């Protein structure tokens, strides 16, 4: 079953002078917890659904105690469009956009992949590939540059994204499903100064 994605914002940016903006797909049923706790890898690690493990048929050790983000929305949209076989078509996905202050990102960026905590780094599970992009336009440049000078399209982190630093930019549902009956926040809660 393939869900259809519906954007609820007119446009998104991938960076500005203060922030990098990344995307993350998840189930709409996770939204109430995300509003309370933010995107917190430790909370995900203490539940039966370990991040991307819920989307993969085998145990996803590359998702434990970290959350993955895409620099290009096409990649994360695949995770908001996913309808698991055991859901009977009831799962609705949402696509989140998070903002990370540029200085905080670079202080935690782990190019060598040697840190075991407090890091942002290139994604290790296979989503960091240009072939995943449908529209290579503005996202082709990527946001982060890898060791070889090329773009990075997917990242992973153990950092918590506070609810003030995320918003919903779209959702996915099957044709016969109703729109999500949760309040989706398409604006940032509080602008950072």
> Residue 8, CB half-sphere, CA atoms under 13 Å: how many?
17
pLDDT per residue as tens, the chain (193 positions) = 566 778 888 888 888 889 989 999 888 888 888 888 899 887 754 454 444 444 444 445 556 678 888 887 777 877 776 655 555 556 788 889 999 998 999 899 887 778 788 898 888 776 766 655 555 555 555 556 655 666 778 888 989 999 999 999 888 877 777 777 666 777 776 555 4
The count of domains in the chain is: 1
Task: Let me know if residue 183 belongs to a domain.
Answer: no
Q: Establish if 168 belongs to a structural domain.
A: yes
Q: Is residue 54 part of a domain?
A: yes
- Residue 99 maps to a domain: yes
Residues 6+ apart with CB under 8 A from 91: 27, 28, 29, 82, 83, 84
Q: Is residue 40 part of a domain?
A: yes
User: What are the φ/ψ torsions at residue 47 (nearest 5 degrees)?
Assistant: -115, 175
CA angle centred on 12, ends 33 and 43, rounded to 5°: 20
Q: Is residue 153 part of a domain?
A: yes
> What is the domain range of residue 144?
4-173
Whether 126 is in a domain gets the answer yes
């Amino acid at each position: 079953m393939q869900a259809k994605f519906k954007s609820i914002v007119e446009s998104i940016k991938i960076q500005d002078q203060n922030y990098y903006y990344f995307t993350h797909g998840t189930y709409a049923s996770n939204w109430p917890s995300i509003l309370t706790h933010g995107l917190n890898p430790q909370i995900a690690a203490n539940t039966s659904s370990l991040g991307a493990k819920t989307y993969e048929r085998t145990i996803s050790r590359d998702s434990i105690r970290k959350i993955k983000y895409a620099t290009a929305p096409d990649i994360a949209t695949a995770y908001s469009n996913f309808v698991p076989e055991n859901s009977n078509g009831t799962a609705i996905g949402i696509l989140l956009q998070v903002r990370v202050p540029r200085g905080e990102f670079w202080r935690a960026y782990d190019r060598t992949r040697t840190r075991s905590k407090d890091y942002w780094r290139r994604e290790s599970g296979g989503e960091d590939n240009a072939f995943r992009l449908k529209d290579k336009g503005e996202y082709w440049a990527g946001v982060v540059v890898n060791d070889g000078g090329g773009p990075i399209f997917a990242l992973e982190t153990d950092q918590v994204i506070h609810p003030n630093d995320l918003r919903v930019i779209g959702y996915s549902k099957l044709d016969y499903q109703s729109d999500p009956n949760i309040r989706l926040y398409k604006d940032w809660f509080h602008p950072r100064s």
